[in-house]
Chains A and B, each alone.
Chain A
Amino acid sequence: MKHRPAGAWSSAQAMAWPTKRKRSTGSRREARGQLLGVVASVAAVAIGLLLLSLSRFAPERLSGLRTGALELSAPIWGAARGPARAIMASAADIGDYWDAVGHARRLETELAAAQRESARAALFEAENRRLKHLLRFAEADRRRVAVARVAGGSGASLVETAIVSAGAAAGVRPGQPVTTDAGLLGRVTEVAAHASRVLLVSDNESRVPVRVLRTGAPAVLAGVGGGMAELRFVGAGPDAAPRAGDLIVTSGEGGLFAPDIPVARVTSITGETAHARPLARADTLGFAVIEAAWMPTTAPRDVAVTGVPPPHPVRMAAMIDP
Chain B
Amino acid sequence: MSQPWPDLISDQRLPRGPIRWRRALPLLVALAACVAVAAPMLAPAPVVPLLPLLCVMVWSVYQPRLMPPWAALLVGVASDLAMATPLGINATLMPLLALLLGAGGIWAGPRPFALDWLLAGLVIAVYQALAVGLAGLIGPPRDPGLLVAQTLLSWAILPAVARLAAWTQRIIGIQ
Contacts and interface: CB of A to CB of B under 8 A. Distances in A.
Interface string A149-183: 01111111111111100000000000000000000
Contact of B48 (A150, A156, A161): A156
Given A30-B10, A69-B82, A37 B39 contact: no
A152 B39 contact: yes
Contacts of A160: 42
Interface of B: 9-11, 35, 37-50, 68-70, 72-73, 76-78, 80-89, 91-96, 98-99, 132, 134-135, 137-143, 146-147, 150
Contact of B134 (A52, A197, A227): A52
A200 B143 CA distance: 16
Nearest to B34: A73
Q: Interface of chain B, helix or strand or loop or mixed?
A: helix
Residue among B91, B134, B135 with the highest chain A CB neighbour number at 10 A: B91
B70 A155 contact: no
B40 A285 contact: yes
Given A55-B88, A197-B84, A44 B69 contact: yes
Contact of B45 (A49, A66, A152, A226): A226
B68 A155 contact: no
B91 A156 contact: no
Contact of B87 (A26, A55, A224, A284): A55
B46 A48 contact: no
B9 A155 contact: no
B73 A44 contact: yes
9 contacts: A41-B99, A44-B95, A51-B92, A52-B86, A55-B89, A153-B42, A153-B43, A156-B46, A158-B135
* A-B pairs, 4 with minimum CB distance: A52-B88, A227-B44, A48-B92, A51-B88
Contacts of A44: 68-70, 72-73, 95, 98-99
Given A77-B39, A155-B39, A26 B95 contact: no
A205 B134 CA distance: 16
B42 A69 contact: no
